[in-house]
Structure 1
Amino acid sequence: MLEVVDINCDLGESFGRWRIGDTDDAALMGLISSANVAAGFHAGDPNLMDQTVRLAAEHGVEVGAHPGYNDLQGFGRRKISGTSKELINDVIYQVGALREFARRHGVRLQHVKPHGALYMEMAVNPELSQIFVQYMRTAAPDSFVFCMGGSATHRAALEAGQPVIREFYADRDYGDNGSIVFTRDAGRPDPAVIARKVVRACKEGKVRTVSGNDIAIEFESICFHSDTLGAFEIVRQMRDALIAEGIRIAPVSELANQKNTRGEQQ
């Protein structure tokens, strides 16, 4: 059973006057411990990045960069073709921009978490993951990589000694292979169902798949999405349920000494 867990959320995922989701980021910020801030390619712009980092700093929430494919129209959820080096240069560009806003507001870059289709591509692409981790070892050796446990990204981070955090997806379904099942329209999920799912994962280390099977799951951070309909009620009920079970919520910077959070594990 997990005694402490991080809650992370993708934030700043709008652009100019365009807004996504039905919940204001400021309302979510007080209920999470880590923020994945969109860095301008799949969503986000300089003003929104600045605003989101400032909100995180005011709430004591740790800041991470959330780089994606250069795909504003598709919200970074479509695969973009390119060489691994080209794609990592896009990541470097975005992480650098977000890190400057973090510096402006006196906070550090706790982590980097690729977004959407780029996250999923890294999960199965060893070359891309290795180049990404090599960049992290050079530019942000003390920042965590957020990824799925057992993915190519996870393996590359472990092998290189890069701090790494495994995620559990609260508002997404799982397949029998442990991978996330993405749908274009997830509708409005039931917050109570998600809360029970999260508590079970923390207490039993299991999750029910779309085919009705139970699989083992290991993680240090719980992710939900700000663009999921009803995001505020999802995180409120999830947080309340965790606390009721005696599970403390804290950023991953406080979990660094736990099992399976650094390269010497496994």
Structure 2
Amino acid sequence: MTTIDINCDMGESFGNWQMGRDEEVMPYITSANIAGGFHAGDPHVMRETVSLAAEHDVAIGVHPGLPDRMGFGRRKIDASPEAVRDYVVYQLGALTAFARRHGAAVQHVKPHGAMYSMLSESPEHARAAMEGMLEVDDDLIYLATDMNIYEVAQEVDGLRAVFEGYVDLDYRADRSLIVERELADRDPELVADRFVSIATDGVVEAANGEEIAVPADSICIHGDNPNAVAILEAIHERVGEHGIELESLSAIA
């Protein structure tokens, strides 16, 4: 039987600003990437999201970003590897405290936005972030968004890493993602087809029609996608049809 994790970025609201559909999406996923308060999220949203994940038995991970609320963590910042390490440790510590309040533990780390891009482009920054998370908890799992980061993760002693794929975004032939400014409705059946293709065969069709390898053990669904719930419902129907078992990262890594 094929086993795969479904992860989603969550807890990205703050103050009066609302982002995503966390309550509707949470019942369908196995791992939640919760914003650490730098690019989005705040203490109250963090507490509420951890509580929601615990209620649905969803594994908890931190989604650390650069300190850039206005740009939603997507703008480049000139930060040293040591600074990135501190950013990760700080946000991980905050989420860990809320997790402990709910009798839960943090399972994984998945950097957000411009921080992820920085780690993809600089192995030195990537190693600093990974070593920082291991200093906090050497049982944490790194959720790798691209192959550059995944290869660095495999070189870090004692680090467990899982490669993730995407099904509600398009890939280029070089396996880079085509990220649009605003997510649009996606055909749930097409997205579910992609999910099955990655889960069972480790491949998906790129935007140019070429079949590319995406050897993922976790698949990300964007909770702020307008029809995220319909997509997840279609995926869950296919899971049963194709003998796919959904598990959190800790059961896979």
Q: Offset at 1:124?
A: 2.2
Task: Give the secondary structure class of the aligned counterpart of 2:147.
Answer: coil
Q: Offset at 1:137?
A: 2.5
Q: How does 1:194-205 map to 2 (within 5 A)?
A: 194-205=191-202
Deviations 1:92-129 (A, max 9, x none): 11111111101111111100110122112212210101
Task: Give the secondary structure class of the aligned counterpart of 1:200.
Answer: helix
User: Does the 8 Å CA contact 1:119/1:147 hold for their aligned counterparts?
Assistant: no
Instruction: Report the Cα distance in structure 2 between the residues aligned to 1:200 and 1:156, rounded to whole angstroms.
Output: 26
User: Does residue 94 of structure 2 align to residue 103 of structure 1?
Assistant: no
Letter in 1 for 2:4: V
Q: What runs of 5+ residues in structure 1 fail to find an aligned partner?
A: 257-266
User: Does residue 18 of structure 2 align to residue 19 of structure 1?
Assistant: yes
User: Does residue 5 of structure 2 align to residue 6 of structure 1?
Assistant: yes
User: Does the 8 Å CA contact 1:61/1:251 hold for their aligned counterparts?
Assistant: yes
User: Does residue 52 of structure 2 align to residue 59 of structure 1?
Assistant: no
Q: Offset at 1:58?
A: 1.1
Deviations 1:67-87 (A, max 9, x none): 011111221122222222122
Q: Offset at 1:180?
A: 1.7
Deviations 1:135-155 (A, max 9, x none): 12222210100013522x222
The one of 152, 159, 164 equivalent to 2:155 is 159
Q: How does 1:91-130 map to 2 (within 5 A)?
A: 91-130=88-127
- Matched with 1:247 is 244
**Alignment RMSD, CA only?**
1.4
Instruction: Report the Cα distance in structure 1 between the residues aligned to 2:252 and 2:185, rounded to whole angstroms.
Output: 31
Q: What runs of 5+ residues in structure 2 fail to find an aligned partner?
A: none
User: Does the 8 Å CA contact 2:36/2:62 hold for their aligned counterparts?
Assistant: yes
Task: Give the secondary structure class of the aligned counterpart of 1:18.
Answer: coil
User: Does residue 163 of structure 2 align to residue 132 of structure 1?
Assistant: no
Task: Give the secondary structure class of the aligned counterpart of 2:8.
Answer: strand
- Matched with 1:82 is 79
Task: Give the secondary structure class of the aligned counterpart of 2:154.
Answer: helix
Q: Which runs of 4+ in 1 moved over 6 A?
A: none
Q: Offset at 1:228?
A: 1.4
Letter in 1 for 2:173: D
User: Does the 8 Å CA contact 2:191/2:231 hold for their aligned counterparts?
Assistant: yes
Count of aligned residue pairs for this structure pair: 252
The one of 37, 40, 58 equivalent to 2:37 is 40
Instruction: Report the Cα distance in structure 2 between the residues aligned to 1:149 and 1:39, rounded to whole angstroms.
Output: 21
User: Does residue 171 of structure 2 align to residue 169 of structure 1?
Assistant: no
- Matched with 1:263 is none
Instruction: Report the Cα distance in structure 2 between the residues aligned to 1:143 and 1:239, rounded to whole angstroms.
Output: 27
Letter in 1 for 2:218: S
Instruction: Report the Cα distance in structure 2 between the residues aligned to 1:200 and 1:157, rounded to whole angstroms.
Output: 25
Letter in 1 for 2:11: G
The one of 235, 240, 243 equivalent to 1:238 is 235
User: Does the 8 Å CA contact 1:8/1:224 hold for their aligned counterparts?
Assistant: yes
TM-score by length of 1: 0.90
Letter in 2 for 1:92: V
